[in-house]
Chain A
């Protein structure tokens, strides 16, 4: 992992700053988000609000988002209701489980100091 130690604020997709995973139960989805750099946690905490995340999944019918904070890991766990449009058994979506849905949140633009950006060989 190459970290660039600069404080310049940059706007990047969350995917450049954090990783995560989606899981489903019934019609309820959870998406975990973990910053690559633990010090990015408070910066992300201010931006990854329940309201912003709800807006991101609104086109899928999301009705409620609850964020659970785990500052020791550090990680956020977002619990998103009604986003699976019927759940794995009722959905017409190719991805009825919502397994690809972590990458909706990971596509959100965030503003972070450059030093928190995970910079692989081929940034995009």
Chain B
């Protein structure tokens, strides 16, 4: 009997399409055989934003769409023995477990077993002066802000423990993203924690799937060059792992999007630096010999990846209070709009000086020069006449205080009456900022683990 394990991904970030899970679960059930589902909803700074939310309300700080994501599928997954794994616990995994437990009870599943992984929050264990800074971050200025969150990237092992204890849903905070997919594979196939070649299969599958639709046509679609079917209904991905080590990427049936060699290559290298040395908490991956092969419609085989020993240190990302972002926007369109927009931009920068606001500023002329432009503003200053006929001027500032950020952003509002002719559509806002820096900790600095309890025990 062919031993095949399928893993579906139902979210690639916090904010992903909430109707993604249904078709993935339909497909896993239809195809039969052992399977698991995972959600990756915890970007590098999402945990800090969640921590800020938890400060305001101690019952929150988990993925805000959690209930909306799980409600349509929880019953079916439990009925078909498909465990659900997610880092949707964010800054508050026990809080997320409460939500899931209440949902399970409401759906008539008081016995649903929910595992909660702990130990990623290292605020009490991290000594910033003692730990080495992760190399890509040595140049970042932390501005002396207070620590908001500090989370270590846990391995798959605590999740495996939870699955062994019968968990049907596993809630985590920070783990290695690929570890979310690796855990059910270790549990199913019984791979050893130092079987690098096999762990590499699961970690590669996890890496390819962790951004959801990015491997099924999302962030890929480029009309005329890379077209995809039905982009409004992109199917989320499913990895098929064979006991002999073969790995295929497919997607939910009867959905849009595609799985072809091009999109798999794009995702293989996504957020990768040295392809010969991609570190996950469980195994170090070597993608330098990877090849991809279209093995059928929406089906690509990935092979040639290798695994080496897991790193000796554990990466922990620390988020610091980073002051405030202030933003204001105003539009100019029609004849001479470039001149009017440029004049508005110059006046706004002058106003910040006149007001003596303690801010760092940048201006964009959206429609002329924005996301590709540098902070210095050469692109909008030098834009050719007639570069655009509908321009949005954006002022962005960083400030230590919310008041300075707000006062700077309100200078855009004042442009209604004081600025160049025909300015309209002002929006302004302030947002708290988070700065992140990663450090390398020792395994002995951490004490990860899990608890597994039934819904009725968690939410009596």
CA of A79 to CA of B220, assembled, Å: 20
Chain A interface residue count, CB cutoff 8 Å, equals: 45
- Nearest CB on A from B249, distance (A): 15
Most buried by B among A19, A26, A81, A120: A26
Residue of B nearest to A124 (CB): B224
Chain B residues 66-93 with CB under 8 Å of chain A are none
Out of B137, B288, B360, B374, name the residue touching A26 (CB < 8 Å): B137
Q: Which residues of A contact B224 (CB under 8 A)?
A: 120-122
CA of A73 to CA of B44, assembled, Å: 29
Residue of B nearest to A31 (CB): B269
Q: Is the CB of A94 within 8 A of B134?
A: no
CA of A90 to CA of B323, assembled, Å: 10
Q: Is B265 an interface residue (CB 8 A)?
A: yes
Chain A residues 29-81 with CB under 8 Å of chain B are 30, 32, 34, 36, 59-61, 68, 70, 72-73, 75, 77, 79, 81
Q: Is the CB of A73 within 8 A of B398?
A: no
Q: Is the CB of B266 within 8 A of A94?
A: no
The answer to whether A70 and B287 touch (CB under 8 A), given A19-B226, A59-B379, is: yes
Chain B interface residue count, CB cutoff 8 Å, equals: 61
Q: Is the CB of B438 within 8 A of A26?
A: yes
Residue of A nearest to B142 (CB): A90
Most buried by B among A27, A28, A70, A77: A70
Dominant SS among interface residues on chain A = mixed
CA of A81 to CA of B371, assembled, Å: 17
Q: Is the CB of A86 within 8 A of B225?
A: no
Q: Which residues of B contact A90 (CB under 8 A)?
A: 140-141, 322, 398, 433, 435
CA of A8 to CA of B94, assembled, Å: 64
Q: Which residues of B contact A20 (CB under 8 A)?
A: 266
Q: Which residues of B contact A15 (CB under 8 A)?
A: 225
Q: Is B304 an interface residue (CB 8 A)?
A: yes
Residue of A nearest to B374 (CB): A59
CA of A59 to CA of B226, assembled, Å: 29
- Report B365-401 CB contacts with A as 1/0, cut-off 8 Å: 0100011111110110000000000000010111000
Q: Is B274 an interface residue (CB 8 A)?
A: yes
Q: Is the CB of A100 within 8 A of B371?
A: yes
Binding site for B on A (CB under 8 A): 15, 19-21, 23-28, 30, 32, 34, 36, 59-61, 68, 70, 72-73, 75, 77, 79, 81-82, 85-90, 92-95, 99-101, 103-104, 118, 120-122
Beyond the given pairs A25-B273, A32-B269, A94-B396, 14 more chain A to chain B contacts, judged by CB atoms under 8 angstroms and listed by A's residue number, are: A23-B271, A24-B271, A30-B273, A68-B276, A73-B265, A77-B272, A89-B434, A90-B435, A92-B398, A93-B364, A93-B371, A94-B394, A95-B370, A118-B225
Binding site for A on B (CB under 8 A): 44-45, 134, 136-137, 139-141, 219-220, 222, 224-226, 262, 265-276, 287-292, 304, 319, 322, 325, 360-362, 364, 366, 370-376, 378-379, 394, 396-398, 433-438
